[in-house]
Amino acid sequence: MPQDFNQPLETPELSRDPYETPLSPNPPLFIETSKVTEEKISMINFRPSGWLSEKEIDLLKNAILLRQKDIALCEEERGILKHSYGKPYKIPVIPHEPWQKKPIPIPKLILTQFIEYPVFCVAKPNGKLRRVHELQYLNKVTIKYAGLPPNVDELVGSLSRSACYGLGDIMGGYDERELDITARPLTTFETPLGILQITRLPEGEKNSVAVYQAQMTWILQEEIPEQLGMFIDDGGIKGPRSKNQHEKLKENMLIRRFVCEYAVTLERILLRTEEAGLTISG
């Protein structure tokens, strides 16, 4: 990867000391907002049933309320990496001849059947469509970035050693990192609506996995690996390793210490992603 092609990521100063938690050992009762409602909170998995006390759940709800700007419940609320952290990504390519893939005429009689085409859509579990691009021509001329994501088995194993853990993902993943305007012509494709270009980190591009992994590792570097395991856009937030799961807080005997420590870590990680401009799927 040319060293001067994509500028190094930056670390702007946070709006507060992340280690001075705003959480109280005596959390207030949950009061829903226009964004974080009882219905939305009920979708969060606090399993197993009865494992957490009501006060412990209130503490976790309070952490979510404090960082509700970091929660995206729909695509319109999805964030994007701030330029103060990282500039839009440029795709490094070797000198090459421009390519042109002419669209294949499709007879109307088979338009709804299985056809071969470099751009198509597949259905998501929520019923929406995911656009898929065949990027072989682009990948052949792209300079490979050497980075790799962590080993999945090792990451999962590290979660199992925690007293508790939680999972979250960046909403839209690659869609929260811009593609530089100079790189967009490399992604040009033709549709019935005209010629379009990809404006975000392309899924299937040779370096997208490594670039996004490096981005998230940079933003959350102070939490990795002790408090967080990050695999591209999916994160495993780790509670303490303490096996003393019955120790209670002196300030509130209805909250176990390891749950409180996990809530503090959760709020701090959400603070870091929020200030980077990213959002977590709600």
Mean pLDDT of the chain: 88
Q: Residue ranges per domain, the chain?
A: 38-92+146-281
Stated length of the chain:
282
| Alpha carbon distance 72, 104 (integer Å) | 38
How many Å from the N-terminal Cα to the C-terminal Cα in the chain?
35
For the stretch 122-166, pLDDT in tens is: 787 777 777 788 898 999 999 998 888 888 888 888 888 888 899
pTM: 0.87
| Alpha carbon distance 22, 264 (integer Å) | 9
**For 38-92+146-281, which CATH superfamily applies?**
Reverse transcriptase/Diguanylate cyclase domain (3.30.70.270)
Three-class DSSP category at 247: coil
What is the pLDDT at residue 121? Answer: 77
Q: DSSP alpha helices (H): ranges in 42-90?
A: 54-66
**The three-state (H, E, C) secondary structure of 155-188, written as one string:** HHHHHHCCCCEEEEEECCHHHHCEECCCCHHHHC
228 close to 237: Cβ distance less than 8 angstroms = yes
What is the pLDDT at residue 3? Answer: 59
| Alpha carbon distance 27, 114 (integer Å) | 55
